[in-house]
Structure 1
C-alpha cells in the first residue's frame, strides 16, 4: 500500500511541476490519437501517459494508451493502473455512447463517489481497431464545474490521428422543401415517443418565410388537447437573447455602450468587492465570462411571494468571481437578470424595475416583432392556450410537474421568465436571420448591434462560443446561432443557420425535451447538408442511457421510507441563504419543504456510511441532500458544485 501511495504522489508532483499551456495545436496522445490541450492547464508526459492539471491542482486528467484489452472495462482498469495506481473506486455505471469522430466504440464509466467528498471520477474509453485510448478524470467537483468550458473544448478535439471530422464549410444548403419539412416533423414525432414527451411546438423558417408552424402531440395529457402554433410554453433562458436584443436597441440609440462600466448607468450596482465592481462592463453582465459561478439555489429554494427584482442585485453584491474575467465560461442567471433590469432602468428610471422591464420588452421587442402572445405573466399565460409541464417519475411513469415551481424565476425574469409560442418564436428567429430588418422594411435595430451579441466571448466547446445571451456552434463548419432554455417541465431551443437562411424553433413540455432539441439540431444539419445520419441513433442512445441511470437510481433509493427510518431527519432546519427547510413524515411519506420548493423524498445509503435524502417529485427528481451533524445539531447539506449550503437544525 505504501508503494502505491508513493507512486501516486509522484505522479501528482510531476503534474504540478509542469508548465501551463497556451498552445492550440494538437499533440499525440493515447493509442494513435491527437488532442488539443486545455489552455492554461499544466501538462506532463510520462512515458506514454499524458497528464493535465488545472491551476487549482485538485483535478487530474490522464490520457492513457492501452494496446490490447478484452473490452472497455478491462482497458479502463489497465489505464487507471498506469495513471493512478492507488485508484480503487467501484464503478457506478458503465454506458456505451454512439461511436463518433472516427472511433469504433466509446464507453463511459462513472464511479461511486460519496457526496461528502465533493468530488467526481470518470473514465471514457475510445477504441480504434483493437487499441484503446482512455481519458481518466478524478478530482474536485468545483473545479470541473468551473473549468468545464476549457475541459470540453479540449476533450472534443480527441480523435484518431489523421481523421477528418465532418465539415459543411462551403457546401450549398438545401431548401427546406415539403419533403424535408415532413422528414423533420416525422423525426420529432418518433423522438417524442422514445423520450416520452407529450407535446412540442415546432416552427421552421426558410429564406424569410415561416414555412411551417404548429404543434405535435398534446398540451395536456388528461384532456388530450393538441398543441397548436399559438400554444404557450415557458421558454426559460431563451429569454436572455431577447433581453440582450433590448440592450442592443439602446446601444443603437447611443444610450448604452457595451464597453462602459455598469456603474456609469447604475451607480448602486455591486459585484463582490469594490475593485471587481469597477471592472464590470455592460457586456460582462451577459457574456458568461466574468468568472461568476451559477448561484441558482437561492432563488430556487428561497423565493418568497414578496421577493422582487432587487434580490438579484443583493445576491450579486455579496458574490465574488471564482476565476478571472475572460478566463473561463461560467453561466450565471443573476448577471443576466441584472442586464435586463439595467436596460429597463435606463428607459424608465422612475418605474419599479420589474414593471419597467416588462414594459421595455413589450414596447421594444414583442410589439415590433408582432409577438402578440409572448408574456412574462404566469397567470396570463396559464389563463389561455398553454402546455402543462411533465416529467417521468423515478418509476418511469409520466407525471405532471407542479407548475408553481416555475414561480421562482419571476423576480429574475430577464434570465428566463418568458412564455412564448412556436409562432411568436418563429418571428423572433426570423429577425435574427434578417439581422434586425422587419418585414415592413423598417429596422428593429442595426445589423451591427444585433450581430454584436454573437461575438465569441468565451469558448464552451470545440468551435463553440458563448456571446451575449446567444451561442455560436460552428463545430460542423457552419455557424448555428442558438440558445436553450430550461425550467421545471419545460425545455426549449431555437437554431438559426445564417448561411442557409434557415431557422427552427423547438418548444417542449417535458424534462426530457433537451435531448429532443439537440436531436433536431443534428437532424436539421443532415437535411440541409446531407450529413451523416446520426440524429436517430443519438436519440435512441440518450433514451437508453437515461433509462439505465434511472434504473440505477431506483436500485439505490429507498422510496418506501417508514416513520422509524424518517425519524432521524424529521424536523426544522435553517440556512441564511436558502431559508427554512422542514422535513416531515405524513401520509406514509417523507416530505421536504423549503420556501419555494417541496418534494417527496427517499433515502440513499452512501458507500461511506452517510445517508442522503433524495427528492422524488416530478421536476425535482434527483436532488441529493446529505444528512449530517455539526456538534449536537443535525444538518442537511446541499452542494451545487461551487457552493455548499448547510441547513442546521433549528433551536427548539
Structure 2
C-alpha cells in the first residue's frame, strides 16, 4: 500500500474541486491507512484529523440494514415480515404495495414510491408525521416494478426495527452494532454534530467561490436514512467488519450479513453511468448497498450527500479491500477519490484520469443548468398577466400527503407558506408564479394555479402535488 500515492490522490482532488477538508480510511490485506487533510472550516486553522466527525449521510443506510440483520439473528424480525407486523399503522397508497410491503422492500427501494424528499428536507415534520403521510404519497411505479431510491422507506425500515427492538432506533443501533464494533464517538444528525469539539463544517460553491454554510443540517426526521456522524478513525472498524463477513466475534452472523450484500433489485444503467463506466456489466441494489463490477472485481458501495458534505464508502469483499472518503464540501471529490482508489488498490492497468473526467462533468453540469434556465426563459409567455386579482389567489390549500400551503397577499405581492418555508412569489406568466427566494429546498419553484370553469381558483400545483383550495 503506497501511502504517498494515497495522499496524492486526495490532495490533488481537493485542489481540483476546492474542498477545504477531507479524510480517508483504507483497509487492504497489507494493512490500514487513516488520514485527515485540510481544515475543518474555511478560514480556520483547525486541521482535519482521523478523529474529526463528518456527517456520512446515506452511507448510514448500510448501518440501518445491518441493524435489521442483528434483529434477524435475534429472532425479533425477518426480512420478509410485513411492515405492519412491526408498524401497525403503516400504509401505502398503492393497494398492492399496501397489502404486501415487507422490510426487504423498504431496504431495497422497490415499493413504487419516488423520493418525495421535500417532505423531510428542511421541514419541521417529525419522523412519525412523515411515516403517517406516506399513506397518501403518489407512487410513480408499480410495486416491485422499478428501483426508485427512497429515504422515506429507509426511515420506515428503521422505525420498524426500533419497534422490533423495543427502543428508539438510534439507541438500538449504538448498543447492538456501533459500540461492539468500536464506533464509540458516533453522534446523530446536525444537533449531534455541533456540540462535539472535533467536527467538520459544511461548505459549498456559490458563484464559483467556496463558502461555509450557516450550520450543519438537522435531518433527524429521516434518521435511519442518513443521520450518522462518524470519523474515519472509527469507520476503519466498520470496513474491517464488512470485510470479515460477520460471524464469530462480530455482532452479526455470516448468513445475515451476507444477505445485506445480496442483490435484491436491478438498477438500470442510465446514460451517464454508461458514459462514465462503459465496461460496467451489472448494477443492483442489495440491502443498503449498491453492487456492481469494477474491472472484474465485485464492489459494494454507497454514497452520501447532505448540505455541504459528501461521502462514499466502498467494500471489495473478494479483494479484501475497503475504504471510505469524507469531504466537507458539495463536490465530485468522493467520486474522484473512489474511482482513483479502486484503480490503484485493485491494480487496474491504464487507470483513467478521474480528476479530468469529473472536471469535465462539473462543467457539463454547469452548462446544463445554464441551458435549462435559458430554455425555461425562452418558453415564458412575456407580457401576460394573472387571470385574477392577486387577492383572489390567497387562501388555504391542502394535499393529504403534503399538508397545508397558505397563500397570502400583502402590499400587492403574493407570499407562500408551507411547513418551515415562507417565500414571496414572482409572476412568471398567466397563472404561474415562481418562489422568489434563495432558501435551500424552496428556491425558484413553479407554483401553478388551476382555475375552475367559473374562474375561481381550484388547485395550487407544487412539486407535482395538487393542493386543493379549501
Q: Aligned partners of 2:21, 2:330: CA distance in 1, in Å?
A: 12
The 5-angstrom pairing of residues 526-605 of structure 1 reads 526-527=343-344, 528-531=346-349, 532-549=351-368, 552=371, 574-576=397-399, 577-580=402-405, 594-597=418-421
Q: What's the counterpart of residue 364 of structure 1?
A: 176
Q: What's the counterpart of residue 150 of structure 2?
A: 332
Give the structure with higher Rg (CA).
1
- TM-score of the superposition, structure 1-length normalised? 0.60
Q: Aligned partners of 1:400, 1:572: CA distance in 2, in Å?
A: 37
Q: CA deviation at 1:242?
A: 0.3
Q: CA deviation at 1:401?
A: 2.8
Q: Quick one: structure 1 residues 366 and 604, their matched pair in 2 at CA, closer, same or farther if it must change by over 3 Å?
A: farther
Q: Aligned partners of 1:430, 1:610: CA distance in 2, in Å?
A: 54
Q: Aligned partners of 2:44, 2:416: CA distance in 1, in Å?
A: 30
Q: What's the counterpart of residue 20 of structure 2?
A: 198
Q: CA deviation at 1:497?
A: 1.2
Answer whether contact 2:416 2:425 (CA < 8 A) is retained: no
> What's the Cα RMSD here?
3.5
Q: What's the counterpart of residue 22 of structure 1?
A: none
Q: CA deviation at 1:275?
A: 4.8
Write out per-residue CA displacement over residues 337-377 of structure 1, whole angstroms, 9 at most, x where no aligned residue.
Answer: 111111111111xx5xxxx1121011011101111111125
Write out per-residue CA displacement over residues 206-262 of structure 1, whole angstroms, 9 at most, x where no aligned residue.
Answer: 128432x22222221132422211212211111111011011011112222212323
Q: What's the counterpart of residue 114 of structure 2?
A: 293
Q: Quick one: structure 1 residues 604 and 430, their matched pair in 2 at CA, closer, same or farther if it must change by over 3 Å?
A: farther
Q: CA deviation at 1:646?
A: 4.6
Structure 1, unmatched stretches of 5+, are: 1-176, 559-564
Q: Aligned partners of 1:343, 1:546: CA distance in 2, in Å?
A: 39
Q: CA deviation at 1:378?
A: 3.0
Q: What's the counterpart of residue 431 of structure 1?
A: 241
Q: CA deviation at 1:432?
A: 0.8
Q: Quick one: structure 1 residues 229 and 473, their matched pair in 2 at CA, closer, same or farther if it must change by over 3 Å?
A: same
Answer whether contact 2:28 2:322 (CA < 8 A) is retained: yes
Q: What's the counterpart of residue 44 of structure 1?
A: none
Q: CA deviation at 1:554?
A: 7.7
Answer whether contact 2:23 2:326 (CA < 8 A) is retained: yes
- TM-score of the superposition, structure 2-length normalised? 0.82
Q: CA deviation at 1:548?
A: 2.8
1:468 paired with 2:290, answer: no
Answer whether contact 2:117 2:151 (CA < 8 A) is retained: yes
1:318 paired with 2:136, answer: yes
Q: Aligned partners of 1:602, 1:227: CA distance in 2, in Å?
A: 42
1:412 paired with 2:204, answer: no
Q: Aligned partners of 1:389, 1:508: CA distance in 2, in Å?
A: 9
Bigger relative contact order, structure 1 or 2 (CA pairs below 8 A, ≥6 apart): 2
Q: Aligned partners of 1:274, 1:491: CA distance in 2, in Å?
A: 37
1:525 paired with 2:346, answer: no
Q: Aligned partners of 1:627, 1:193: CA distance in 2, in Å?
A: 43
SS at match of 1:324: coil
Write out per-residue CA displacement over residues 445-489 of structure 1, whole angstroms, 9 at most, x where no aligned residue.
Answer: 112211101221112235010011111121532111111112222
Structure 2, unmatched stretches of 5+, are: 270-280, 378-384
Q: What's the counterpart of residue 487 of structure 1?
A: 306
Answer whether contact 2:16 2:355 (CA < 8 A) is retained: no
1:645 paired with 2:468, answer: no
Q: Aligned partners of 2:309, 2:246: CA distance in 1, in Å?
A: 28
Say which of 93, 106, 131 aligns to 1:272. Answer: 93
Q: Quick one: structure 1 residues 636 and 391, their matched pair in 2 at CA, closer, same or farther if it must change by over 3 Å?
A: farther
1:210 paired with 2:32, answer: yes
Q: Quick one: structure 1 residues 316 and 646, their matched pair in 2 at CA, closer, same or farther if it must change by over 3 Å?
A: closer
Answer whether contact 2:241 2:250 (CA < 8 A) is retained: no
Q: Aligned partners of 1:494, 1:267: CA distance in 2, in Å?
A: 34
Q: Aligned partners of 1:544, 1:418: CA distance in 2, in Å?
A: 31
Q: Aligned partners of 2:416, 2:347: CA distance in 1, in Å?
A: 50
What is the number of equivalent residue pairs in this alignment? 439
Q: CA deviation at 1:626?
A: 3.6
Q: What's the counterpart of residue 4 of structure 2?
A: 182
Say which of 265, 282, 290 aligns to 1:458. Answer: 265
Q: Aligned partners of 1:201, 1:582: CA distance in 2, in Å?
A: 45
Q: Aligned partners of 1:191, 1:433: CA distance in 2, in Å?
A: 27
Q: Quick one: structure 1 residues 198 and 342, their matched pair in 2 at CA, closer, same or farther if it must change by over 3 Å?
A: same
Q: Quick one: structure 1 residues 573 and 505, their matched pair in 2 at CA, closer, same or farther if it must change by over 3 Å?
A: farther
Answer whether contact 1:628 1:636 (CA < 8 A) is retained: yes
The 5-angstrom pairing of residues 348-359 of structure 1 reads 348=166, 351=167, 356-359=168-171
1:229 paired with 2:229, answer: no
